[in-house]
Structures are given as C-alpha cells and as structure tokens.
Copies of this chain bind each other. A is one copy, B any other.
Amino acid sequence: MKRLFLYIIACLLLCGAARLSAQSQAAYYCLPCNNACDTIAFDAPGECPHCHMELIRQVVEERKRLQNDRLKIAFYLQDGVEVLDFAGPMEVFDYAGFDIFTVSKTRGPVTSQGVLKIMPDYTLDNAPAADILAFFGGNAGAASNDPAVINWVKRQANIRHYFSVCTGAFILGKAALLDSLTVTTFHKSIASLQEAVPTAKVLSGVRFVDNGKVITTAGISAGIDGALHLVAKIRGKAVAEKVAAYMEYDKWAPDAGLVTVP
C-alpha cells in the first residue's frame, strides 16, 4: 500500500515537472520578418536560413502570443503617392513583424511616382480595422481635399497610432488630428502646413516628431527614421536596431527626432 502511494506521488511529480517544462519550453526563432519562417523553431542560435535574420531565444508560448498579437497597419496610398515615402516604412514595419495592408479610394490601380502601378488590397469601403493608420506624400492634396478619405479616417476607431510621412501630414491635419500638436512635414511645405493647421506648431529641421499617439516625419527618406522610431517605441530599441542593421541603414540616428510624449 505504501509503495503504491509513493508510486502515485512520483507520477504526480513527474506530470507536474513535464507540464512546467512544456510551459517554459524555449527555442530559437528569427526576428519577426513577416515570412513563413517566423513560425519555425530552431534548436540552436545562429541565422535563419530563409530570411537570414538572427535567431533569438524565446519561450514558445511567448512567441505564439507575439505571433497572434501582430499589430495591423493600414497604408493609405493615393494616386500619385511618392514611392520612397511609403516603401521605406513598408520595409521597416515588415521586418519588425507588423501586418501591413494597402488601402486606396477605389479598386483600380494606383500609380506611384508616375511609374509604379500598384493594386491596393482594399478600398475605403472594405478595409479591415487597423491598429495604425499611415499616410504619405505625393499628390497628398488629392486625398486631404477628398471628404470620402477624411470621413474614412475619422470613422476609424481604436487607432493606436497615426503616422505620416512628408505631406501625408496634410491628410491628418484635415482630419483634425494635428490640432495643437507639434508636428513636421516635407521641407518645402512647412509654411503651408502651418497655414492649414494654425493651432499646430510645425517644425523644420527634425526627422520626426512623436506626440505619443501621432507621429509625423519630414520628407521622403525621413519616413525610414520615423518608422524605426515607432518600432523602437512599440517593440523595443533592440528590435529597431536589428531591422536597421538588416536593411543596412547604418546611418540611423535614433535621436534625430523630437519626442514630446514618450
């Protein structure tokens, strides 16, 4: 009887240890890269053979939680959108593990920079909910003066961040999202944004301005810096540094922007 009792106790202890081990089981995963290899668990550190990102040690459950908790970011692309304005942040947010989708006014192709024909994923009528809304320069006046676009921006609920590059700030301005904030835009449009949003303080000479919920960047290539800043804010500076290194943006200066609200 005593032997049976000890046997049961031993079995219970073993089961408990196994469960504890399963709960804290760790493996090596690539830094999130938005490709299928994001879900592959490796046994040892090194480099992902698929995306070449560094493999980092993570508890399996934590990785799964991160995988299911990817932030959704809507890129609004108007006809005439500047190609580097959106492509820089798209590169950054993709490698940082965000889910990106593109939205335009209608289903037809959008031509960027007079060259690149893009088929948007969604229109204003069927775009899914996003955590972050992003706007870009290049014919941004067509979007900021379009009530359909501005009403769509205003309709979106539970937005965690608004992000603009270059003259994409005029769209946020028209949607009354820049009132009384410190912001920035394309270097040739500082005065006209100030005129469009008189209560804002429009700065020149900064790569980005972070107001907590609203991040605006300077022109064209500055979108890369603003996106890396937002990644650092949400996912930690180490992840942003890995992304910058991967894309060989070794000139990244994290402090080249102004943070008014952390």
Contact = CB atoms under 8 A, between A and B. Distances in A.
B118 A91 contact: no
Contact of A248 (B90, B117, B221, B246): B221
A8 interface: no
A188 B48 CA distance: 11
Given A84-B247, A251-B251, A220 B91 contact: yes
A52 interface: yes
B187 A248 contact: yes
Interface string A241-261: 000001111010000000000
A109 B119 contact: yes
A116 B90 contact: yes
B115 A90 contact: yes
Contacts of A246: 219-220
Interface in A174-195: 186-189
A247 B88 CA distance: 12
A17 B117 CA distance: 49
Nearest to A36: B114
A127 to B, nearest CB: 14
A47 interface: yes
Contacts of A218: 248
A101 interface: yes
B84 A102 contact: no
Contacts of A114: 34-35, 94
Given A87-B88, A221-B224, A221-B249, 17 more contacts: A34-B113, A34-B114, A47-B188, A52-B188, A84-B87, A88-B88, A90-B115, A91-B113, A91-B220, A102-B117, A117-B118, A118-B118, A119-B119, A220-B246, A220-B248, A222-B248, A251-B251
25 contacts: A47-B188, A52-B189, A82-B91, A83-B87, A83-B91, A84-B90, A84-B247, A87-B87, A87-B88, A90-B116, A101-B115, A102-B115, A102-B116, A116-B118, A117-B121, A118-B118, A118-B119, A186-B248, A218-B248, A219-B246, A220-B248, A221-B224, A221-B249, A222-B248, A251-B251
